[in-house]
Structure 1
Amino acid sequence: MIKISVIMPIYNDEENIIDSVSSVLNQSLTEIELICVDDGSTDNSLNLLNDFAEKDNRIRVFSQINQGSGKARNKGISEAKGEYIAFLDSDDQIVDNDALNQLYAEGKKNNLDMVSGGIQFVSKDKINYEFSCFKPITELKLRPVGDYCIPWYFYKNIFRRSLLIENNIRFPDLLRGQDPVFLVEILSHLDYFLEVPVLYYSYVTPEYNKIDNSLKYYDYFVHFYLVFKLLMADKKFNNIVLRYSERLIAMKNRAIYVNTEEELLKLLDIMDKIKSLYVTYGNVNLTNKITSSFEELISKIENSK
């Protein structure tokens, strides 16, 4: 029986694949599979993956034309056979060789759909164990789902595969912000998750702004709409709504990518939809903050023309 399917999307990452794949194969939990989905790489990534697969039958390699990491992960979900699913990007690594074993054991013992491990953040050879409200996990603790920090870093969790399959939970077709939408949809089906004090995931923080054009910029606002639509439907997420709203408000300080009148109209439309969510949500102070933030952003767009 396969206990955990680890899904890895790959695109032109030949420099990091060996370390990333090895961190999976070195796990003490051996009843695993590594599903590698090459997303149209033009370097040597696919060849390296096939070499790995020839040496270890736990590795399954799939290849597709370039469609983005979300669709690559969705392909992995559809092919997975494990009781639980984990995700690993090809430039990241699993830190503790016993991490998957501990996460699986606790999930199985407690009959849970989601189990969370610790995450570290790596940038320019510097390791930081605390980012925002993702602090190191120091004790085994069952937590209400509303205690999850903000809907980031889905990588630090493993998820019961049946939860994803039965509820048709997949990554949306967005250029940016896919991960939070995916994670919030999972959280919306849960009451609790378990934190396990094991350093599980090593996340390489990007050194550049991933939102670098108008299409990504628009999709990031769409992601906010989809996330808050789910969060605001259940009062147990009130704290996450408050925390993640700060991320939305901060968009007024980010670079602006609007090139045409048509793009501006699309942006204004999704902003109106977001504001409508806040009005229905009923927190007047928060609604006013969002409205003010959007007005400031629109003013910056108009002045940039």
Structure 2
Amino acid sequence: MNPRVSIIVPIYNMENYLNRCLDSLLIQSLKEIEIIAVNDGSTDSTLPILNEYIRKDYRIKIINTNNMGVSSARNEGIKAATGDFIGFVDPDDWVEPKMYETMYNTAIKDKIDIVMCTYTREFGTHSKEKIFNLPNKVTYENEEVKLNVMRRLVGPLNQEVANPELLDAWGTVWSKLYRADIIKQNNLTFVDLKQIGTNEDTLFNIQVVYYANSFVFLNNPFYHYWRANNSSVTTGFKPNLLEQWFNLYKIIEMFLKSKNMKEEYYLALNNRICLNTLGLGLNTISKSNKLSGLLKIKYIKSFLNDYRIKRSFSQFQLSYFPIIWKVFYYCAKMRISIGFYILLVSIETLRKAVR
């Protein structure tokens, strides 16, 4: 008998966090699960820890690969998954005991292709729930799935642009449970981060959601997202991020064209490009970027003057923003690099203060 849910955990050098993650999966109230631990060429004690766990519980399966990155590891997990549904958990995170039972039962009872929960950000010293201003349960069916979920993943429209910090809150794969057939029958995979820089989750979700006929949002923070891990793949300066993100945008655009999507999807993508100047800026001022302040401002000036970003801002509306974001994106639109830099430093300081 196949497990009801396959939980894929991509792992690279996570000896300090792995026990917490696996323990939270083994105490799931849904017992009919398999945990596919993909050891992505770890050089620490990850493998001995995994070997100890498989002696304790037959539901854990280990796949050992050369170090190819998180996308490749997840793809290996998808190939090996035998469950009716697939979930993803990152090895430095953990989940609530009833997460998969609740999401699986929702999928079965309501005949749902994708179920999404919310999450809590964990900073080591404190926790902060990610707030979604939605009811306890929201259901989308048929064309509503594309209009309300897929388009939101591509990018924001109208009032949605007012909160740039929520741009990819819907894009995480670890907050979701997917009907396995949708992924496998359409040969959906994760794209290598070397190609797109970040947002492999969002890109994967855009494609999966396109093929889904139903989607349920549960406003329950079942997932714990660990933000205190300085070795995470989401931290550190990425010198090639500009070109990698334009590779990402091109892939999204080509997918939209292949599916003959409406004009609003391209406007949403255009808005994503503009909002992502915040990410480009924060990447530039990162402490791990050893350039001086003056050279960082010079680099900011260069990417704000990139013809592709200038073209996107020519269609970008500032009217929906609160005043601070309006000033910030006005600086980006008008290519005021010094003002943009000063606001970036203020935003980064504020982000750390309100955690």
Shorter-chain TM-score: what band?
0.7 to 0.9
C-alpha distance in 1, partners of 2:309/2:6?
A: 36
Aligned mates of 2:90, 2:113 — CA distance in 1: 21
Q: Secondary structure at the match of 1:155?
A: coil
Q: C-alpha deviations, 1:196-223, integer Å up to 9, x for none?
A: 2433211112566635232455323322
1:63-114: CA deviation from partner (whole Å, max 9, x where unpaired): 111110110000000000000000001000012x111011001111222210
1:221 aligned residue (246, 251, 255): 246
1:110 aligned residue: 110
- Mapping for residues 1-305 of structure 1, pairs under 5 Å: 1-95=2-96, 97-130=97-130, 134-135=131-132, 138-143=135-140, 144-145=144-145, 146-148=147-149, 150-151=167-168, 152-175=171-194, 176-177=197-198, 178-205=200-227, 210=235, 212-230=237-255, 234-235=261-262, 237=265, 241=269, 244-251=272-279, 253-256=281-284, 284-285=315-316, 293=332, 296=335
- 1:180-204 deviations in whole A, cap 9, x for unaligned? 2111111222354102243321111
- What is the rounded CA distance, in whole Å, between the counterparts of 1:207 and 1:217 in structure 2? 24
- Cα-to-partner distance string for 1:135-185 (whole Å, 9 max, x where unaligned): 276522203434345442221111111100111110012232222211111
Q: Distance in 2 between matches of 1:33 and 1:274?
A: 44
Q: Give the conservation status (yes or no) of the 8 Å contact 1:35–1:59.
A: yes
Once the two structures are TM-superposed, the CA of residue 254 in structure 1 deviates from its matched residue by: 3.2
The 1-side partners of 2:182 and 2:308 are apart by: 29
Q: Secondary structure at the match of 2:211?
A: coil
Q: Secondary structure at the match of 1:253?
A: helix
Cα shift at 1:4: 0.4
Q: What is the rounded CA distance, in whole Å, between the counterparts of 1:298 and 1:231 in structure 2?
A: 32
User: Secondary structure of the equivalent of 1:168?
Assistant: coil
Contact 1:224 1:274 in 2 (8 A): no
SS in 1 for 2:225: strand
Does the 8 Å CA contact 2:310/2:333 hold for their aligned counterparts? no
When the two chains are superposed, the root-mean-square deviation of aligned CA atoms in Å is 3.6
Instruction: Compare 156-165 and 192-201 and name the one that shifted more.
Output: 192-201
Give TM-score scaled by structure 2 length.
Answer: 0.68
- Segments of structure 1 that go 5 or more residues without pairing to the other structure are 301-305
Structure 1's 252 and 165: CA in aligned 2 closer, same or farther, altered over 3 A? closer
